[in-house]
Structure formats: C-alpha cells, structure tokens
Amino acid sequence: MHGSGPAGLVRIFNTDAAILEAREERQDLPCDVTPVKPVLGLDLRFHSGYEVTVPLRELAGAENLLTMIFRVTPENGEPVYFSQRINVPSIEADAKGDAYLQGAFDLGEGKYHVDWLMRDRSERVCSSNWQIEAALPSRDRQLEVALPPGALQAAERDSFHDEPSPEKLGAEPPLSVKVIVNFAPQNSRSATLQPLDTSALLAVLRSIAREPRIGKFTLVAFNVQEQRVVYRQDAADHIDFPALGEALQSLSLGTVDLRRLSQKHGETSFLASLITREVLPDEPVDAVIFAGPKVLLEENVPDQTLKVVGEPEFPIFYMNYNLHPQSTPWRDAIGNAVKFFKGTEYTISRPRDLWYAWTEIVSRMVKSKFGRRAAPASSQ
C-alpha cells in the first residue's frame, strides 16, 4: 500500500495501515510519545511534530532500524502520510537511560488528527494518536501564514535551500537594498551558531528576499567575534541562500585567535570599518538594512568615526533579533550607529514583530524613493 506524502509516495504496509485505521494505543515496543503543540515561527509557518523516548534496554542487541509512519488528517480534508527511518547502532544489554527521537512537520491553520506508529525490525509496535490545532491569536489575525488552512508539508531539512524569485511589480522602478547581517548566536558566549538563531536570521532574510518590489540585493554577512565578513553578494537579482550557507560553515566561534586578542577594542574597530564602508555604497541604494542579535561591546563606534559617512540620502533600518528584550533593553553598538544616522530600529522577538517591521520598512523605502524622485521634478 502507498500513501501520499510531501516528498512523494510513502510506502505503507497493510499491517501499518490497519494500526493507523484502528487508532489503537500499542506498547509492544515500549515508548512515550509527546505531541508538540503547533507554534508559529518567524517564517510564518506553524511547526508541529512529536518527541519520543525509548528505553535503551529495549533496543539492546545488534543494529536495529526504527520506522515511524504517521498520517495527519485536516478537519474535513484528506490525510497526508509521512515516514521517518532511524538506524540504531549496536547497544549493550545493560544500557541505561533512554533514546530521544523527534519528528516535525509544518501546517496551516486548522484542526488536525495525528495517527502515529513506530516499529522495529522485530515488528514490535508503539502507536499513539492525538488532536492538534493551529490557530492565530486574535491580535495576530492580519498576519499572512505561509501555508493555507489545512495544508501540510514536511519540515524543511535544508535551511539554506534556494527559492524562486518573486514576480516583480512592474508599476514602479524596483528598489535596490543593501542587507548587512550579523550571523552570531543570541548568546554571545555560545561557541556555535544555534539552529534557532540561524532559522530566525534566515526568516528575516527570506522576508526581504520575497519582497516583489525589490529588484537588486547586496548582502553582507559578517561576524563581530571573528572580525570578518563571511560572505558577500553584490547587486544580485536574488539572494543566493545555498552559497551563504556554505560560507557560514567557515565560522569557528569557539576558536580563540591570539592576533585578535592582542588588539584592544578590535571588535569596535572592525565594526567601525564595516559600517563606514558599507553605509557609503559604491552603487546607489534605496535603503541599508542591518539585521542580527545585539552586539554589546565595551566601547561603541565613536560619533567622530561615523561623521565621516555624512548624512545618508536613503533610510537606514536595524532589525534587531532579540528573543528576550526585557533582559537587554539597552541599545547595542549597531543600534547606536543607526540612531546616529537617524535610522529606525525594530526589535524582532515574535512572528508579528517581523511582519509589522517589514511592512513598515517597505512602506518607508517606497515613500523615500518616491520623495527623492519627486524632489528634482518639483525643483524644476
């Protein structure tokens, strides 16, 4: 038997289908299943799934294979089937503790029923079923969820996947933007860029990349701790996410560079050089957008250094990704520079923050571009 799935056909044996149809709770293979409540991410997709724990002693012996089959049925809709396979290495008979497994999928608004099972090579089965509901709070009703109601998709495995450019709007000349992103962990002491941080920064970038009124993108990805530009893309018609992902693999946040340690206020000097260089673009742009977590330095970029740039003719924005704004309410080094240039800072903590911020940024960019074009005409 086969079922439809987000990645094509999912093979389902008749015995599996019978268990899913019966919606019976089975514990031949002891396990605990915890449903994950749908949560709206910054990418405006509802994310749901499950977490499973299995006692290691139940998997003891030679290599094993765990197969998970589950279907998600929208209310008044057709079920969508998913499958997942996990290879289990050899485990000692006296092994202590639990194996922790998880699965995920994305969905649109609505109510759903999930029927789930897991079996091993011995055909032992653990099965469960539950109800979930994905719903926007009343104050967020104006948000546009990425998936339509009742829609289901497998969770994205490749965060840096490419995507087609949006169809451009032909009524007005397209906008040109420069996006300067600090790819750094929310916790400045972390030795790695956490998946949560990466997905949040990519959600910000994809919001910009999907804007049909933008025709040219310049992207500068940097890291203050390493004091370097990690990736650069100039005046392109779309953002090259796969190339960005490959470049970010070179980050080594846990490595201490003795040369950098010897430089007093080296991070401030790097940031000063970056800002003064990038806010004076080689080609005309309609806006410069900074994005990333707070950059808290012992010394901010001096105003005298920023005065070299002069007063930009375009608006400057800062989309500050800050999960816990109440813990760091003060302005950071990038925020101080943006304030100096009379720019606007937005705190991005929740999906609606990103939606509101980007809606306002686009409106201001269009108004600024129209104003600059109208000024010479009126002077004539």
pLDDT at 262 over 90: no
% pLDDT > 90, the chain: 70
pLDDT at 268 over 50: yes
The least confident of 1-5, 90-94, 201-205, 285-289 is 1-5
| Fold observed for domain 175-379 | Rossmann fold (3.40.50)
Burial 80-90 (b: 16+ CB within 10 A, else e): bbbbbeeebee
**DSSP state letters, 293-344:** S----SSPPPHHHHGGG---SS-EEEEEE-S-TTTS-S--HHHHHHHHTT-E
Please state the rounded mean pLDDT for residues 167-180: 83
Name the pLDDT band for 370 (thresholds 50, 70, 90): confident
Give the orientation angle of helix 241-248 with respect to helix 195-209, to 10 degrees: 150
* CA angle centred on 285, ends 281 and 291, rounded to 5°: 80
The least confident of 23-32, 192-201, 327-336 is 192-201
Q: For residue range 58-111, what is the model confidence (pLDDT) as tens digits?
A: 999 888 999 999 999 999 899 999 999 999 999 998 889 999 999 999 999 999
The per-residue pLDDT for 85 is 93
Tell me how far apart the alpha carbons of residues 61 and 24 are, in angstroms, rounded to a whole number.
Answer: 28
Name the pTM for this structure. Answer: 0.85
Give the orientation angle of helix 333-340 with respect to helix 266-278, to 10 degrees: 40
Please state the rounded mean pLDDT for residues 362-370: 91
Cβ atoms of 264 and 298 within 8 Å: the answer is: no
pLDDT at 4 over 60: no
Tell me how far apart the alpha carbons of residues 88 and 77 are, in angstroms, rounded to a whole number.
Answer: 35
Average pLDDT, the chain: 89
Domain boundaries, the chain: 2-153, 175-379
Query: Which residues share a beta bridge with 355?
Result: none
- Report residue 70 as tokens: 């589950």
> Helix, strand, or coil here: 56?
helix
Q: For residue range 100-159, what is the model confidence (pLDDT) as tens digits?
A: 999 999 999 999 999 999 999 999 999 999 999 999 999 998 898 999 999 999 998 888
The per-residue pLDDT for 263 is 60
| Cα–Cα nearest to 357, from 175, 217, 349 | 349
The per-residue pLDDT for 167 is 78
Kindly provide the residue ranges of all beta strands, DSSP E only, lying in 136-280, ordered along the sequence: 152-154, 175-182, 214-223, 228-236
The per-residue pLDDT for 264 is 58
**CATH class, 2-153 region:** mainly beta
